[in-house]
A and B are shown apart, each in its own frame.
Chain A
Amino acid sequence: MTTVPTFSRGRAPGEPPPAEPPRAPEPPRRRSPLAKREGRVAYLFLAPWFVGMVLITIGPILASLYLSFTEYSLLQPPEWLGLDNYRRMLEDERLHTALRVTFTYVLVSVPLQLALALALAFFLDRGVRGLAVYRSIYYLPSLLGGSVAIAILWRQIFGTEGLINQLLGLVGIEGQGWVSHPDHALSTLIVLNVWTFGAPMVIFLAGLRQIPAMYYEAADVDGAGGFTKFWRITVPLLTPIIFFNLVLQIIGSFQTFTQAFIVSGGTGGPADSTLFYTLYTYQRGFGSFEMGYASALAWVLLVIIAGFTAVNFLAAKRWVHYGD
């Protein structure tokens, strides 16, 4: 069977999965003094991580849950509000804009990115010469895509006097600015996200390599064509990998911040067309000192992402084949 990548804790969406799922060691039957001492040493080594986890991660998360029920300006102690912050969201029109922008982005860019990643992985798997080189080149954007530098570059390329419009000018088309036009700005960010297809591509490639050749040979004997083989053998055997990529990319896309922040200069503009949920949360928290409301927004995003992920896992029972 194929090896299914496991969701290990703390792995960033962009990183490739480990080659092997971690295997739990056999527990010793009787703990010798040496084993006990080693156990203590192990906890000692774990301590820095554990302390960091509690202080830097779990503590703030719980604090933000509390703050989400308060009005907290950063400058004065928080004041209890109950559910007011959550009620306010129902009438917050800019939040509704932010939700619309974010959902559009996720629903458009994730399928496009995965389709491109799968297509290229499929192509590279056909035995291209210099595979390692191509794989690295295609992977490169995934390493750079979330960076400030690329976002600034994007702003330049898609600007009114940027590269794209200069090229269009050569063929006589006078283009408008792309990142600065309310109707096009989000599309440029979708293109930027699709462009970072390298991470899922590498994972697809690893998955494709693990499909045993005998299936294809058997299909050849039966006289199946290329499309049939792709549809009937490759895709079903790849569904765990597709599923894995889908979940990670959806989560990652919901959390998009850097690109939108840089490309719009922190405003979510032009005219709120790139007002991502996280950017709006940031504006509320740090721009207008509404940390309580920002915390509530963050918790709602957590619920949204958890909801999407849960639906994904439920639906997965219908279409993901683990090959057993």
Chain B
Amino acid sequence: MGGRRRRTSLASVLAVALLAGGCGSDDGGGDGDAAGSDEQVTLRFAWWGSDERRELTEAAIAAFEEQHPNIDVQGEYIEWSGYWDRLATQVAANDAPDVITQEERFLREYAGRGALLDLSEYEDTIDLSQLDPLVTGSGEVDGGLYGLPTGVNAYVVYANPRLFDQAGVELPDDATWTWDDYIRIANEITAATGGEIVGAMDYGGNEAGLKILARQHGQELYDEDGELALEPATLAQWWEYSLQLRDGGGTPQATLSAEQQDTGSPEQTLLGTNRAAMAWYWSNTLAALSGASGGELRLLRPPGEHERERTGNYYKPAMHYSVSARTEHPEEAAMLVDFLLNDPAAIDAVRSDRGLPANLEQRERILADLNEHQVAEAEYLAQIQEDVVDAPPAPPVGAGQVVDIIKRLNIEVLFDRLSPDEAAEQFINEVEAATG
């Protein structure tokens, strides 16, 4: 046997083994007409999240099916990071779910590429009158309405009062505290407990906090046209704060922060395991974090709200419901979206799991009998109302990539591989390339 034959067969081995990615796809598939109302219809409804969310959502689906016996809704659920991979391939294969849960950074990606239905054409079916005007606009893309917000969220500095006690440090007044206060308090807690407890978890890889700082400076992460609208100095300051915390002991050593940055579940975070006194998260994480830490957590406003030009906090649509442009049953899909947003049965089932309900009437109704976590969350959202000036403009197409860019640059800074100024410059270059 000569070398030649082996070489060719080897080449085919490589060729076979190498390519998992490219799949052929045909792009036919015109829109089906709206189905008649009594016909037996099956809808697919996709969301991401925990097992708890699955139970709540399936209860809502059951209530919907009871009202509409001719519609069968099949839930498709998976955890956050796998969700987007799967959705992308499903859409490419012309096999998208009928009702799709979206997040604002990905909503524009899908809407801008024609994958979603313009829901403004279904206003007869979907009642928009009760939805919180502070977040409804977030689903508008290029003049169409492609997503409707499920509920309202805001960013929070969670504080664990027991750990503050243990360190002998007083809880700050969150109406007036500055960034320097935040850093000083975090450093004090670590020092007072000899490092047994760290003051705060590192938050430099999180866009939402940066957005708040930028707004405090009178800037935005993205402007109305989707262009980056913050100054390099703001970014540099953002990471400068991280270094002050790292060097002062207020946040843990860099390798631990790097591990925590990729920790998805609240139970495993330093806050959840009672080893950090403060951490930044979304308000609808309260129940999960309190459950993990086994005690009450305080919800503090971000520092620096009255330190600079203006306040930075904002309400964020927790998620959006959208409908696939290729659904065969647009009318029924719109009915399901309307039900999830407005029907008391759906609100009773899902409660504040997708943020505090966007429907103001329903939000008011359930406030009366919320559990302690939901009450604290609702109170926080009410409390910051005086700080919330406006909503940040919707992020541009490509913003989904920024999630990873800022995390990566944060690590570069924490390990002193880039200075805050260098990281700021690189952030701007990379984000402009991703969203350009």
**Which of A's residues lie within 8 Å of B, judged by CB?**
6-11, 21, 57, 59-61, 63-64, 67, 73-77, 159-161, 176-183, 247, 251, 255, 264-267, 269-272, 281-283, 285-289, 291, 294-295, 298, 301-302, 305-306, 309-310, 313, 316-317
Complex-state Cα separation, A316 to B109, whole angstroms: 50
Q: Which residues of B contact A73 (CB under 8 A)?
A: 113
Complex contacts, B398 vs chain A, CB 8 Å: 288
Interface contact B7-A310, CB-CB below 8 Å: yes
Shortest Cβ distance from A4 into B: residue: B1
**CB within 8 Å of A: which of B398-424?**
398, 400-401, 404, 407-408, 411-412, 415, 417
Supposing A306-B14, A316-B3 touch, asked if A266 and B91 sit within 8 A by C-beta, the answer is no
Please give the distance in Å from B352's CB to the nearest CB on chain A. 28
Q: How far is the CB of B239 from chain A (nearest CB, A)?
A: 13
Q: CA A206 – CA B381 in complex, angstroms?
A: 70
Contact pick for B259, options A21, A159, A298, CB 8 Å: A159
Q: Does the CB pair B258–A180 fall under 8 Å?
A: yes
Cα-based distance from A59 to B401 in the complex (angstroms): 30
The answer on a CB contact under 8 Å between B22 and A75 is no
Q: Is the CB–CB distance between A302 and B407 below 8 Å?
A: no
Minimum Cβ distance to chain A for residue B82 (Å): 10
| A247 neighbours in B (Cβ, 8 Å) | 10
A270 adjacent to B415 (CB under 8 Å): yes
- Count of chain B residues near A, Cβ 8 A: 51
Q: Does B368 contact A (CB under 8 A)?
A: no
Of A60, A255, A317, the contact of B24 (CB 8 Å cutoff): A60
Do A75 and B91 have beta carbons less than 8 Å apart?
Answer: yes
Q: Which of A9, A11, A295 contacts B21 (CB 8 A)?
A: A295
Contact status A61-B411, CB under 8 Å: no
Q: Which residues of chain B are within 8 angstroms of A289 by Cβ–Cβ distance? A: 88, 109
A75-B259 contact given A251-B17, A285-B21, CB 8 Å threshold: no
B404 touches A298 (CB 8 A): no
- A and B contact pairs by CB, cutoff 8 A, 27 listed: A6-B6, A7-B6, A9-B13, A11-B13, A21-B1, A59-B24, A63-B23, A160-B253, A160-B256, A161-B256, A176-B254, A181-B255, A182-B417, A265-B262, A267-B407, A270-B411, A271-B408, A271-B411, A271-B412, A281-B21, A287-B400, A294-B22, A295-B22, A302-B19, A305-B18, A306-B11, A309-B7
B411–A288 touching, CB < 8 Å: no
Residues of chain A contacted by B110 (CB below 8 angstroms): 75
- Min CB–CB distance B335 → chain A (angstroms): 25
Residue of A nearest to B91 (CB): A75
Bound-state Cα–Cα, A160 to B12, Å = 43
Inter-chain contacts of B3 with A (CB < 8 A): 313, 316-317
Q: Within the complex, what minimum Cβ distance (angstroms) separates B107 from chain A?
A: 13
Smallest CB-CB separation from B96: which chain A residue? A75
A3 to B409 CA separation, bound complex (whole angstroms): 53
Which residue of A57, A74, A306 is within 8 Å of B16 (Cβ)? A57
| Selected contact of A287 from candidates B16, B89, B404, CB within 8 Å | B404
**Residue numbers in B under 8 Å from A281 (CB-CB):** 21
Distance of A74 Cα from B10 Cα, bound (Å) = 31
Q: Quick check: is B41 within 8 A (CB to CB) of the other chain?
A: no
Residue contact B10 to A7, C-beta cutoff 8 Å: yes
- B375-403 CB mask vs A (1 if < 8 Å, else 0) is 00000000000000000000000101100
* Residue of B whose beta carbon sits closest to that of A185: B258
How far apart are the CA atoms of A19 and B13 in the complex, in Å? 20
> With contacts defined as CB atoms under 8 Å apart, how many contacts are there between chain A and chain B in the complex?
155
For the complex formed, measure the closest distance between the CB of B105 and the CB atoms of chain A, giving whole angstroms. Answer: 12
Known A-B contacts A6-B6, A177-B258, A287-B401; A269 and B22 likewise in contact (beta carbons under 8 Å): no
Chain B residues within 8 Å of A264, by CB: 262
Minimum C-beta distance from B28 to chain A (A): 10
Q: How far is the CB of B260 from chain A (nearest CB, A)?
A: 9
- B10-A309 in contact (CB<8A): yes
CB-contact partner of A286 in B9, B17, B85, B412, under 8 A: B85
Chain A residue, CB-CB nearest to B90? A74
B408:A64 contact, CB within 8 angstroms: no
Cα–Cα distance between A63 and B19 once the two chains are bound (Å): 11
Choice from B24, B259, B407, B417 contacting A177 with Cβ under 8 Å:
B259
Closest residue of chain A to B413 (Cβ to Cβ) is A271
Q: In the assembly, what is the distance between CA of A160 and CA of B262, in Å?
A: 14
Contacts of A10 in B (CB 8 A): 13, 16
B-chain residues with CB within 8 Å of residue A61 when the two chains form the complex: 15, 19, 22
Q: CA separation between A181 and B81, bound complex, in Å?
A: 23
Verify if B78 is at the interface (C-beta below 8 Å from A).
Answer: no
B208 CB-CB contact with A under 8 Å: no
Q: How far apart are the CA atoms of A295 and B23 in the complex, in Å?
A: 10
Does B115 count as interface, using CB distance less than 8 angstroms? Answer: yes
> Of B19, B85, B417, which one neighbours A64 at CB under 8 angstroms?
B19
B22 touches A60 (CB 8 A): yes
Q: A264 vs B400: C-alpha distance in the bound complex, in angstroms?
A: 19
Knowing A74-B91, A181-B415, say if A301 contacts B18 (CB, 8 Å).
yes
In the complex, what residues of A have CB within 8 A of residue B115's CB?
75
Q: Are B113 and A64 in touch, CB under 8 angstroms?
A: no
Nearest B residue to A174 by beta-carbon distance? B253
Q: Which residues of B contact A21 (CB under 8 A)?
A: 1
Q: Which 5 A-B pairs have the closest CB atoms?
A: A64-B22, A177-B255, A74-B92, A180-B258, A265-B262
Residue among A180, A288, A291, A313 having the largest count of chain B Cβ atoms under 10 Å: A180
| Residues on the B chain within 8 Å of A267, using CB | 262, 404, 407-408
Cβ–Cβ < 8 Å partners of A269 in chain B: 258, 262, 407-408, 411
Query: Could you say which residues of chain A place their CB within 8 Å of the CB of B19?
Result: 60-61, 64, 298, 302
Docked complex Cα distance between A70 and B198 (Å): 50
Please, which residue of chain A has its CB at the minimum distance from the CB of B3? A313
B114 interface residue (CB < 8 Å to A): yes
Q: Are B22 and A176 interface neighbours, CB within 8 A?
A: no
Residues of chain B within 8 A of A302, CB atoms compared: 14-15, 18-19
Chain A positions within 8 Å of B52 at CB level: none
Known contacts A75-B110, A160-B256, then 4 further A-B pairs from the complex at CB < 8 Å, ordered by chain A residue = A67-B22, A73-B113, A75-B113, A177-B256
Max chain B C-beta neighbours (<10 A), residue from A255, A269, A272: A269
* B400 pairs with A288, CB closer than 8 A: yes
The answer to whether B27 and A77 have CB atoms under 8 Å apart is: yes
- Does B434 count as interface, using CB distance less than 8 angstroms? yes
Chain A: minimal CB distance from B31 (Å):
15
Cβ–Cβ contact A176 & B13, under 8 A: no
